[in-house]
Structure 1
Amino acid sequence: MNQLNEHERIGAFIDGELDLSDQLEMERRYEAEPQLRQQVDEARALRESVKEASYHAAPDALRQRLLAQMGRAAAPAPAAAPAPRKAGRSLGEVLGEWFAWKPMASAFAVAGAAAFFVNMSASHSFAEQQLEDDVVASHVRSTLGQHLVDVSSSDHHQVKPFLSTRLGFSPPVSELQLTGSEFLGGRVDYLDGRPVAALVYKQGPHVVNSFIWPTKAADGKPAFSQEKGFRTAHWSYGGMAHWVISDVNAEEFQTVVQAIQRGDEQR
């Protein structure tokens, strides 16, 4: 494989665009090849620095004002460019001609602002889709291999200290108070270039991975979706981001997510 193709493959790996078998092969190479690991980590760090740029949704009042200004700016015919200054004309006359361009300037400014908001929104959605792809790949990798947990214990008093000493944060850890649920333990995993806590449960015959890491996002309700045959839910609470994934049915998955939320709220 030539260098150009290798770069393309690394980019597709980071973006979650490889098929499952290739994604798992790249995961294996990532663990075994220091040079590849450095290239991937540097690319992920660059993407993370771009993603973490400040993003704020535009208030409704601002959006309405921008739309109104666009409507007003589009109505008049474009003013002619100001004529060259002639001898004997006052400065006030020249400035008046330049101010005649104000509607067009406003239109350009409004269009630029609108494009900025649209691009930021699209970028946010794309980043979330990439993160969901990472969650699915990590879940599949853990269930197909022999590395479900780093610490095998049904006691959260053993799992929490183990993870806390290996991560830069202390994740909430709890057993699920559900019929047919079993807490298997936890492991350190990586999502989107950052170390995260992975709590592993079994709900009947199904494996449930619950990924946790610090976030500055405000508390919110779970958002549910499906990706490649798996159900996912993600939300933020108490300064922690949560992503849960499994292949249980929809009703049971909601019950599992609610149980994880209850355990988090009671910690």
Structure 2
Amino acid sequence: MTPEPDARQLNAFIDGELDLAGQLAMESRLAHDAGLRAQVESLHSLRRAVTGHADYHAAPAALRDHIQALGASSQLAALRRSGGKAALQRWFAWRPLLSSLGAVALLAIVFNLTLLQPGRDGRLEQEVIASHVRATLTQHLVDVASSDHHTVKPWLSSRLDFSPPVPELGIPGSAFLGGRVDYLDGRPVAALVYRQGEHVVNSFVWPGAGADSGISVSTQRGFQIAHWTRDGMKHWVISDVNRDEFMAIVRELALSDVRR
């Protein structure tokens, strides 16, 4: 029997710090373990509550000067790696600095470094890669196989707590394969699956709070990845197509939001 993941492993999963094999194994367990999903969602909720409502205090200029003078770059790197305890002890050892500049400002820096690193987008990026790789390797690309969005959209809507947009691409060489229900960001999401030539394209969609954001594009592990937010919906797209084809797909998907 596979042992239950401990708190360290769960927190590493939430922070996107597991390797790809560990990420895939944890996601596989989440799909079949309601209790584990509840623990993960609780941790996601705690992170959202802290990052969304905690006060932020800018560091005084004098503190920044002291940090630079003391060669704090190594201290900050250690703080990011350790996630907290040992690095906190080193910071609190600077008692003269704490007394002169105030503990609140210093704690604000520690708080932001330990809780906000790595960023939410970085964690989501790793989840998106793991989900794409898992679906591709297992050949479980779709739950509902159809090239007709009038078939796929109601199927997904009946199994999710929202109605996802289901665009069809008007790009030469592209085909809409269907959709499936996947799990990202601590919740079920819609995964729309396309084929561009010989390459699979996964487009993940789910509701999310926050203002609209422009398209952000990156390359990780040989995959092209793009994400944006529009009209209360988060979009993440991933594929191993070349950059030009990928950008054409992303533009088409983003324009479909505007045309809706």
Give the TM-score category using the shorter length.
0.7 to 0.9
Q: Which amino acid aligns with 2:41?
A: A
For residues 18 and 125 of structure 1, the distance between their equivalents in structure 2, rounded to whole angstroms, comes to 12
Is 2:232 the counterpart of 1:236?
Answer: no
Change (3 A) 1:67 1:20: closer
Q: 2:253 aligns with which of 231, 253, 260?
A: 260
Is 2:144 the counterpart of 1:134?
Answer: no
Measured against aligned partners, the alpha-carbon deviations of 1:121-143 in whole angstroms (never above 9, x if no partner) come to x6164332221111111101111
Q: Which amino acid aligns with 2:138?
A: G
Change (3 A) 1:68 1:31: closer
Change (3 A) 1:247 1:9: same
Is 2:102 the counterpart of 1:108?
Answer: yes
Measured against aligned partners, the alpha-carbon deviations of 1:108-162 in whole angstroms (never above 9, x if no partner) come to 1662475267438x61643322211111111011111131111111111111111
Change (3 A) 1:17 1:57: closer
Q: 1:45 aligns with which of 41, 44, 48?
A: 41
Is 2:119 the counterpart of 1:119?
Answer: no
The question of whether the paired residues in 2 share the 8 Å contact of 1:173 and 1:264 is answered with no
The question of whether the paired residues in 2 share the 8 Å contact of 1:69 and 1:106 is answered with no
Change (3 A) 1:167 1:2: closer
Aligned-partner SS, 2:182: strand
Measured against aligned partners, the alpha-carbon deviations of 1:73-115 in whole angstroms (never above 9, x if no partner) come to xxxxxxxxxxxxxxxxxxxxxxxxxxxxxxx989316624752
Q: 1:178 aligns with which of 171, 175, 180?
A: 171
Query: What does 1:20-59 align with in structure 2 at a 5 Å threshold?
Result: 20-31=20-31, 37-53=33-49, 54-55=51-52
Give aligned-pair identity as a percent. 51
User: Which residue of the partner structure matches residue 204 of structure 2?
Assistant: 211
Aligned-partner SS, 2:129: helix
Change (3 A) 1:40 1:16: farther
For residues 246 and 149 of structure 1, the distance between their equivalents in structure 2, rounded to whole angstroms, comes to 15
Displacement of 1:56: 7.4
Q: Which amino acid aligns with 1:240?
A: M
Aligned-partner SS, 1:174: coil
For residues 210 and 39 of structure 1, the distance between their equivalents in structure 2, rounded to whole angstroms, comes to 28
Aligned-partner SS, 2:251: helix
Q: Which amino acid aligns with 1:50?
A: L
Q: Which amino acid aligns with 2:36?
A: V
Change (3 A) 1:68 1:238: same
Quote the RMSD (CA, aligned, Å). Answer: 3.4
Q: TM-score, normalised by structure 2?
A: 0.74
Displacement of 1:164: 0.7
Change (3 A) 1:131 1:180: same
For residues 134 and 255 of structure 2, the distance between their equivalents in structure 1, rounded to whole angstroms, comes to 28
Aligned-partner SS, 1:167: coil
Measured against aligned partners, the alpha-carbon deviations of 1:229-259 in whole angstroms (never above 9, x if no partner) come to 2111111001000010000111211111101
Q: Which amino acid aligns with 2:52?
A: Y
Change (3 A) 1:223 1:124: farther
Displacement of 1:39: 4.6
Number of equivalences: 229
Measured against aligned partners, the alpha-carbon deviations of 1:169-227 in whole angstroms (never above 9, x if no partner) come to 01111101111111111111001320000000111111000000001111111111122
Q: Which amino acid aligns with 1:199?
A: L
Change (3 A) 1:234 1:68: same
Displacement of 1:264: 1.6
